[in-house]
Chain A
Amino acid sequence: MNEIVGMAVTGFGVAFLFLGSLGVFRLPDVYNRLQAGTKCTTLGAFCTTIGVGIMEPEWFWKTLIIALFILATNPISAHALGRASRKTGVPLCDRSVLDKSKEFEEYRKGR
């Protein structure tokens, strides 16, 4: 029973890891790549480590610590990267339709 549930959770996480990497490879600009590469891989790594912990019950607490660490630190590094690329002026792709950050900058400059 443990084996089957753990294998299912691990398979779910591995599928998300692969899809996140595919998004990083295929999407058009930095912000889209960051979105695919941080959300999908956070969920994927969380489910993979928890699934291994379910399959091997003595390892559960250690895998829980690893999963919580990933859950806490991955969004921080993604946010730092996104802010750095925004501040250094990496352009958006041609097909993007809305740029709220630029509107806010113009509003602050005009006031």
Chain B
Amino acid sequence: MGVPMIIFLGLIGAGVVLCILRMLGGPSPADRMVGVDTFSTVTVALLVLLGFVMGRKIYLDVSLVYALLTFIGTVAVARYLERGI
């Protein structure tokens, strides 16, 4: 693990922290949901990069399943915000 990989992981970590701040402080529910959506996409990339750093292929499967589940969750919450259950 060289210096560029440490910089990449630090930048992605900073992005995750910014998304969590938006999730905690968004004025409306849609703002919080935008934070969750961005957070999930950044986390998928972070999982793939962590799998490369640690040398384990199982992280790719984890990131694929995570992307699928957060996509379904975001669409479900958007439908709920639009017209209720």
**Which of A's residues lie within 8 Å of B, judged by CB?**
7, 10-11, 13-15, 17-18, 20-22, 24-25, 30, 33-34, 37-38, 41-42, 44-45, 48-49, 52, 55-56, 59, 62-63, 65-66, 69-70, 73-74, 76-78, 80-81, 83-85, 87-88, 90
Counting residue pairs across A and B whose Cβ atoms lie within 8 Å, the total is 143
Residues of B within 8 A of A87 (CB): 82-83
Inter-chain CA distance A33–B49, complex, in Å, is 25
CB distance B11 to A80 under 8 Å?
A: no
B82 in contact with A66 (CB, 8 Å)? no
Contact A34 B49 (CB under 8 A): no
Residue tally, chain B, CB below 8 Å to A: 41
A17 with B79: CB separation less than 8 A: no
Closest 6 CB pairs of A and B: A21-B15, A80-B78, A85-B30, A37-B38, A84-B82, A77-B74
- Given that A18-B14, A21-B18, A52-B48 are known contacts, is A37 also in contact with B37, CB under 8 Å in the complex? yes
Known A25-B21, A45-B44; 7 more pairs at CB < 8 Å: A24-B19, A42-B41, A66-B60, A73-B71, A77-B78, A81-B74, A83-B78
Contact (Cβ within 8 A) A24 B28:
no
Give A30 to B78 CA distance when docked, in angstroms. 13
A62:B60 contact, CB within 8 angstroms:
yes
Judging by beta carbons under 8 Å apart, are B14 and A21 in contact? yes
Residues in chain B near residue A38, CB distance under 8 A: 37-38
Which residue of chain A is the closest to B30 with respect to CB atoms? A85
Contact A21 B28 (CB under 8 A): no
Query: Can you report 22 residue pairs joining A to B where beta carbons are below 8 Å apart?
Result: A7-B4, A14-B12, A14-B45, A21-B14, A21-B38, A24-B38, A33-B31, A38-B38, A42-B41, A45-B42, A66-B48, A70-B44, A77-B37, A77-B75, A77-B78, A78-B37, A80-B75, A80-B82, A81-B30, A84-B79, A85-B28, A87-B83
